[in-house]
């Protein structure tokens, strides 16, 4: 017994263990048991992601829904799902298809994405962080469907934007990363994020307020200036928000004029192109260009004169206009080439003229490119018209094919309906046939049960009758044997007593005979003596003769009695022999009855074996009825139990 206990259990494979853990996760009723199963699955997720995903993915997602209020369980489940998205690359089951499979399981059911978004409303750190990471992993695998699910979810984008107010930096960074992935390809998400004031949460949130050094501000200004340098779209985007100009103005007001920040922001705001363009527009403006001919006094309408500039400023601006244009590239005082100590300082006019000539050539080349671009645009328009016509033709062809497809689909649906109706008819026919077979099987089983019960009852009655008959016969034979045995013992005792009496009588008779013979001999001797002596004693001789005759008569009677005793002894021996024969006959009958009882018992055992075979057939019929979804009545089960009890009683 102890050797069997000491035997080590068989080792369980990884697939069997994962199957057992998955079954425990889906069937366990206690939260601790489910959490233990999830911990076991998490230990296999890195090395065996395919096995865990195929066996327990839906159970894990269902655990998020069922055990969502338990923070520890949600944390373990989210960690397991993240491990499935990022398995060990050296694992034999590692594959990119696993991530697609997992993402499909989430994105094909809207409630799964909604469930992850619901965890963003909890205050738990790991629930928020792991949910955001899981959404990022799903988005990287199935981008379009993930975006559609997030947009379709109730308050999907507002929940993500609200995470930006979380004071924990890791959560905010993860939310920002996810929003960065979502916004580039979806204008709808871009609008939703903009309406939720995501930019203000990022740039002007109180969590971002902290002491900033001047070097950092200078770096930011340089980055913005580089972004907008020679980029009209960037400038337009920057100037499109009036708050940006106000912010720069407030910054200039807060800092002194000699601040590096003010100079950097001013140069960033102006730029070379905008500087030149602004001066050119100001010089060509009618108020500046026609200043000398514009009246600088009240007119007859009584309104104020359109006076914007002072005459001295206008003269100064027109005289130094060229200098102001060149001031953006070089110091106005270094226009003339000056050679000092053999070193040229300033800008050479020849170089400027050559550069201008090259610039004009470039402009001409650019104009040619523009003309070519225009021709290409015309060709493109022509090609687009051709393409549009082709698309219209294709659309008409597609519509025709679609109509044909719809007709084929309708015919197919009609065929499917007809086939389904035929299939239903066949199923109904099969069901009726199955019901008939079930009824026939039930009737057969019931008939077999009835026949079995009747046969068993008949056999039981025969067995009881034989048992009672054998017992009665045995008791009667026993009583008869005991009586005859007692009679025989008494007879034997009597015979033995009679034999002893006969022997005694015989011995006595023989003794008397011997005495008589001896007396007779003496008498003869006396007679002879008397004869010799004479006839004197003749009377005495006659008396002796009478006495001798009497003795002879007594001897004959004694011999008759002995003979009668011998005959009685023979008769008793004959009776004893007869009694022995009858006793042997009785013993043979008893032995024959016992052999008949043994034969009856053997026949009963055979009948019990037949009954066992019938029981097995009945069980097979019942199993077939169960396979056919046929219910078995309680009466049949009760009858079977009663039969089993009767069989146990008979065996006992």
Taking residues 252-266, what's their average pLDDT?
Answer: 53
Task: State what percent of residues in the chain have pLDDT above 90.
Answer: 0
Residues 641 and 509 in one domain: yes
Is the pLDDT confidence value at 3 over 50? no
- 608 is a domain residue: yes
Residues 279, 267: Cα–Cα separation, whole Å: 15
How much is the pLDDT for 4?
Answer: 44
More confident residue, 449 or 12: 449
Domain final position from 203, 221, 255: 203
The structural domain count of the chain equals 3
Residues 443 and 560 in one domain: yes
Is the pLDDT confidence value at 353 over 80? no
Q: Tens digits of per-residue pLDDT, 154-177?
A: 888 888 888 888 888 888 888 888
Residues 264 and 129 in one domain: no
In three-state form (DSSP H/G/I as H, E/B as E, the rest C), the secondary structure along 327-357 is CCCCCHHHCCCEEECCEEECCCHHHHHHHHH
Is the pLDDT confidence value at 265 over 60? no
**What mean pLDDT value characterizes the chain?**
74
Q: Tens digits of per-residue pLDDT, 564-584?
A: 767 777 777 777 778 778 778
Residues 170, 128: Cα–Cα separation, whole Å: 10
pLDDT class of 345 with cuts at 50, 70, 90:
low
Q: Describe the chain by its helix, strand, coil percentages, rounded to 5.
A: 80, 0, 15
pLDDT class of 209 with cuts at 50, 70, 90:
very low
Locate 459 and state its tokens.
Answer: 């056999």
Looking at 182-196, 234-248, 392-406, 608-622, which range is the least confident one? 234-248
More confident residue, 374 or 345: 374
How much is the pLDDT for 316?
Answer: 81
- 605 is a domain residue: yes
DSSP 407-459: HHHHHHHHHHHHHHHHHHHHHHHHHHHHHHHHHHHHHHHHHHHHHHHHHHHHH
How much is the pLDDT for 377?
Answer: 84
User: How far apart, in Å, are the Cα atoms of 93 and each of 39, 46, 99, 536?
Assistant: 20, 9, 12, 162
Residues 222 and 155 in one domain: no
pLDDT class of 25 with cuts at 50, 70, 90:
confident
Is the pLDDT confidence value at 552 over 60? yes
Domain final position from 292, 322, 356: 292
Q: Tens digits of per-residue pLDDT, 581-593?
A: 877 887 787 788 7
DSSP 97-110: HHHHHHHHHHHTSH
Q: Which residue's structure tokens are 């996760």?
A: 25
Looking at 91-100, 103-112, 170-179, 303-312, which range is the least confident one? 303-312
Domain final position from 292, 322, 347: 292
How much is the pLDDT for 6?
Answer: 44
Is the pLDDT confidence value at 518 over 80? no
pLDDT class of 535 with cuts at 50, 70, 90:
low
Residues 80 and 19 in one domain: yes
Is the pLDDT confidence value at 295 over 50? yes
- 526 is a domain residue: yes
How much is the pLDDT for 148?
Answer: 87
pLDDT class of 349 with cuts at 50, 70, 90:
low
Residue 478 lies in domain = 431-652
Residues 147 and 111 in one domain: yes
How much is the pLDDT for 515?
Answer: 75
Looking at 54-63, 106-115, 631-640, which range is the least confident one? 631-640
Residues 162 and 243 in one domain: no
More confident residue, 651 or 272: 272
Residues 21 and 156 in one domain: yes
Rg (CA), the chain: 68
- 4 is a domain residue: no
CATH of the domain at 69: 1.25.10.10
Task: State what percent of residues in the chain have pLDDT above 70.
Answer: 70
Residues 603 and 463 in one domain: yes
- 1 is a domain residue: no
Is the pLDDT confidence value at 124 over 70? yes
Residues 509 and 616 in one domain: yes
- 328 is a domain residue: no
């Amino acid at each position: 017994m102890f050797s069997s206990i000491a035997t080590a259990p068989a080792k369980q494979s990884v697939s069997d263990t994962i199957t057992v853990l998955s079954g425990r996760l889906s069937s366990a009723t206690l939260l601790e048991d489910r959490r233990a199963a999830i911990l076991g699955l998490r230990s296999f997720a890195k090395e065996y992601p395919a096995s865990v995903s195929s066996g327990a993915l839906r159970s894990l997602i269902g655990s998020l829904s069922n055990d969502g209020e338990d923070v520890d369980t949600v944390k373990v489940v989210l960690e397991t799902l993240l491990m499935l998205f990022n398995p060990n690359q050296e694992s034999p089951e590692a594959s990119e298809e696993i991530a697609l499979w997992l993402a499909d399981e989430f994105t094909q059911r809207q409630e799964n994405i909604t469930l992850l978004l619901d965890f963003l409303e909890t205050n738990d750190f790991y629930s928020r962080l792991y949910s955001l990471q899981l959404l990022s992993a799903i988005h990287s695998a199935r981008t379009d469907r993930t975006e559609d699910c997030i947009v379709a979810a109730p308050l999907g984008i507002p929940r993500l934007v609200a995470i930006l107010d979380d004071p924990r930096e890791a959560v905010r960074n993860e939310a920002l990363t996810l929003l960065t992935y979502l916004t580039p390809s979806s204008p709808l998400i871009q609008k939703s994020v903009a309406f939720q004031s995501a930019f203000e949460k990022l740039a002007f949130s109180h969590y971002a307020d902290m002491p900033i050094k001047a070097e950092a501000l200078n770096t930011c200004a340089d980055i913005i200036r580089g972004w907008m340098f020679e980029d009209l779209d960037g400038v337009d985007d920057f100037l499109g928000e009036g708050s940006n100009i106000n912010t720069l103005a407030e910054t200039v007001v807060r800092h002194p004029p000699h601040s590096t920040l003010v100079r950097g922001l001013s140069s960033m705001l102006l730029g070379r192109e905008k500087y030149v363009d602004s001066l050119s527009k100001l010089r060509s403006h009618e108020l500046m260009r026609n200043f000398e001919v514009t009246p600088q006094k009240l007119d007859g309408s009584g309104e104020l004169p359109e006076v914007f500039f002072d005459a001295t400023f206008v003269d100064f601006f027109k005289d130094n206009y060229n200098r102001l244009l060149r001031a953006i590239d070089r110091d106005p005082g270094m226009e003339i080439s000056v050679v000092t100590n053999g070193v040229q300082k300033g800008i050479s006019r020849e170089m400027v003229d050559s550069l201008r000539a090259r610039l004009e050539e470039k402009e001409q080349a650019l104009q040619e490119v523009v003309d070519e671009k225009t021709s290409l645009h015309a060709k493109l328009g022509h090609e687009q018209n051709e393409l549009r016509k082709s698309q219209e033709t294709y659309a008409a062809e597609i519509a025709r094919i679609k109509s044909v497809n719809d007709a084929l689909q309708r015919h197919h649906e009609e065929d499917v309906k007809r086939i389904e109706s035929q299939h239903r008819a066949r199923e109904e026919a099969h069901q009726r046939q199955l019901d008939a077979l079930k009824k026939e099987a039930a009737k057969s089983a019931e008939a077999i049960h009835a026949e079995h019960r009747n046969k068993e009852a008949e056999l039981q009655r025969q067995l009881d009758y034989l048992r009672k008959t054998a017992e009665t016969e045995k008791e009667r034979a026993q009583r008869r044997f005991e009586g005859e045995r007692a009679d025989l013992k008494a007879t034997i005792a009597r015979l033995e007593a009679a034999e002893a009496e006969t022997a005694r009588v015989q011995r006595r008779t023989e003794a008397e005979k011997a005495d008589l013979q001896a007396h007779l001999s003496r008498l003869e001797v006396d007679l002879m003596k008397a004869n010799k002596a004479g006839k004197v004693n003749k009377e005495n001789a006659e008396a002796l003769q009478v006495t001798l005759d009497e003795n002879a008569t007594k001897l004959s009677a004694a011999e008759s009695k002995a003979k009668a005793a011998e005959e009685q002894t023979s008769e008793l021996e004959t009776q004893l022999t007869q009694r022995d024969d009858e006793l042997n006959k009785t013993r043979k009958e008893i032995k024959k009855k016992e052999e008949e009882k043994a034969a009856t018992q053997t026949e009963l055992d055979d009948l019990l074996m037949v009954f066992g075979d019938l029981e097995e057939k009945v069980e097979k019929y019942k199993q077939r009825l169960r396979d056919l979804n046929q219910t078995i009545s309680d009466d049949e089960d009760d009858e079977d139990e009663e039969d089993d009890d009767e069989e146990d009683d008979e065996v006992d």
